[in-house]
Amino acid sequence: MTGFRGMRFVMDLIKRFTPKRESLTGNESISDKQLEESTTTTTLKVMKRHKWSLALGVSAIALTGIITFTGHQYVEAGMVNVYHVKLDGQEIGIVSDNKIIDEYKQRKPQEVQQNFPDVHVVLKTNGVTYEPERAYNVKSDDSAVLATLDKLLVPQPVGTELKVDGKTIAIVKDQQTADQILDQVSAPFAPKAKETAKVSALSTSQGEDITTAPSELEKVEFIQQVDTKEVPIKPDDLAIPEDVVKKLKTGDVQPAKYTVVEGDCVSCIAKKLGITKQFIYDNNPGLQDDKLKIGNQLDVTVLKPTLSVKTTERVVQNQEIQYDTEYVKDDSLRVGVVEPISAGKNGLKKVTIQVTKVDGLMTEEKLVNEEIIDKPVMAKVKKGTKVIQGEGSGKFAWPVVSPSISSTFGMRWGKLHKGIDITGNKNIMTADNGRVTETGYKSDYGNYIIINHLNGYETLYGHLSKITITEGTIVEKGDKIGIMGSTGDSTGVHLHFEIHKSGSLENPLKYLNR
């Protein structure tokens, strides 16, 4: 207070002795220069007269500044940054650094999980928050706050509930385990990887089985609705993953056996149990040809998977395209004769088929795309139109009705038997269309007939008792040409029948079938 009074005293002195702009007489003005000189002189006089009072005022001002600065520094030195920690909005203590809480929230759940390796444990730290404050001389206790959090935060075992069409199937450790189980159920139905290098051209006669052909998986899904959800559990609630996989694949169906009794047959058992014969054979590979033994046990377990796997696959195959043939009529060639002009060539196309399967069995196939790789080249041929009467078809019929062979083609007693001997109905018929080129008698053949079929084949009919046709006659297959007999070198009534092709002997049984 003394310092402030000194300051006011100095100011009052200066004000009192400051000359006014009017003269002391009141009727004359003082110039600015005179006023300035007068003021300076007056100020110096006042300062000399009251020098101790002025010194005291200045000292008071300086002391006040020093006290104020020192007090501020003292208070500032006592200020600290602290963090009020709360759990679900309720304060539980003060820590010195927010990093302590951040590190705790990251570290503690991991430590808890390590203590329970077989169960997925959740430590809910989301409710732990903090608010910063800068205050004077506030005390914090980091360890006490962490200890309180350890006490208040209770680890909760949780599992993943697996549901199929709303029905709980099992509770497993976590979502990863549930995903692995579902993958194991669907994996057997995933198609084999396709190797492009092995894709070969398929002709219409070859035809690769599309149900087992290599394919590219487009989509795999479950027919039923599958849901998973994290739920609180007791450790004993967890199911063994292998058991869950089995349950999803088989429907938890117990094996069924059937014991064979007297009078049973595969079809009888199938009808009795409402299953197919093929199902019984598939489930019992050792069963063959309906051979059952009394007392045998058959596996008749009908699996009903809880989950059915639907796959959509894309099969790409290279298929041949059959070339067309252009026929050019030629009346210089006999009917049935075809001569190539230019060869044809099959084309190639890439066919894309979408195949849908349920549990590995195809339920639908759809052609989605065809791409021509090589166009087919059309063949060009001459086709004969010249009709020649008596030309054979090349397919022979038996020359007698109800034939019976008494001697076959081949070596007999060191000599070649050139044809076959046939007995049966006595009427002899031509084996194919043709022209009678020779009839007559020979010592070995007796009465005989030779027919030229005008296609490279000739037939001979021997040992006839009577010839009913003449040379040059055009005959058709099945026409009567003679009567069976035993003329020439013969030991009984029969027909000796030969076939010649381009002048060479052929075994008639090569062309005749019963």
Residue 62 or 364, more confident:
364
Statement: residue 3 has pLDDT above 80: no
Question: Nearest CA to 91 among 123, 124, 122, 133?
Answer: 133
Calculate the average pLDDT of the chain. 83
- The alpha-helical segments, DSSP class H, found in 367-461 are none
* pLDDT for the residue numbered 480: 97
Q: How far apart are CA 452 and CA 456, in angstroms?
A: 8
- Global pTM? 0.47
* pLDDT for the residue numbered 69: 62
Q: How far apart are CA 134 and CA 157, in angstroms?
A: 40
Average pLDDT on 506-512 reads: 91
> 289-329 pLDDT, tens per residue?
677 889 989 998 877 888 999 999 988 988 888 888 898 99
Statement: residue 14 has pLDDT above 70: no
Q: Are 314 and 353 in contact (CB under 8 A)?
A: yes
> 20-61 pLDDT, tens per residue?
444 444 444 455 555 555 555 655 565 566 566 666 666 666
- Which domains are present in the chain? 2-77 (no CATH), 80-154 (no CATH), 257-299 (3.10.350.10), 310-386 (2.20.230.10), 404-510 (2.70.70.10)
- 3-state SS class at 321: strand
Residue 204 or 251, more confident:
251
* pLDDT for the residue numbered 298: 92
Give the number of other CB atoms < 10 A from CB of residue 464: 26
- Put the strands of the sheet holding 128-136 in their side by side order: 90-95, 79-87, 128-136
Owner of token pair 């005959």: 475
Strand partners, 135: 80
Q: How far apart are CA 471 and CA 234, in angstroms?
A: 108
User: What is the H or E stretch that residue 440 is in?
Assistant: strand 434-442
Q: How far apart are CA 511 and CA 432, in angstroms?
A: 11
Owner of token pair 């007698």: 400
| Helix orientation angle between 2-16 and 51-77, rounded to the nearest 10 degrees | 140
* Res. 180 pLDDT band, cuts 50 70 90: very high
> 93-148 pLDDT, tens per residue?
999 999 999 999 999 999 988 888 888 888 989 999 999 999 888 899 999 999 99
Q: Name the DSSP class of 144.
A: H
User: What is the H or E stretch that residue 466 is in?
Assistant: strand 457-467
Q: How far apart are CA 454 and CA 271, in angstroms?
A: 61
- For residue 353 the two structure tokens come to 């088929």
Q: How far apart are CA 275 and CA 266, in angstroms?
A: 10
Identity at 101, one-letter amino acid code: I
Residues of the chain above pLDDT 90, percent:
45
> 286-299 pLDDT, tens per residue?
887 677 889 989 99
Owner of token pair 């609705």: 225
89: left (phi over 0), alpha (psi -120 to 50) or beta: left
* pLDDT for the residue numbered 98: 94
* pLDDT for the residue numbered 205: 39
Q: Kind of pairing, strands 325-334 and 379-386? A: parallel
Q: How far apart are CA 140 and CA 479, in angstroms?
A: 127
E strands in 120-278: 120-122, 128-136, 156-164, 167-172, 201-202, 216-222, 226-232, 257-259
Q: Are 120 and 173 in contact (CB under 8 A)?
A: yes
Strand partners, 314: 216, 354
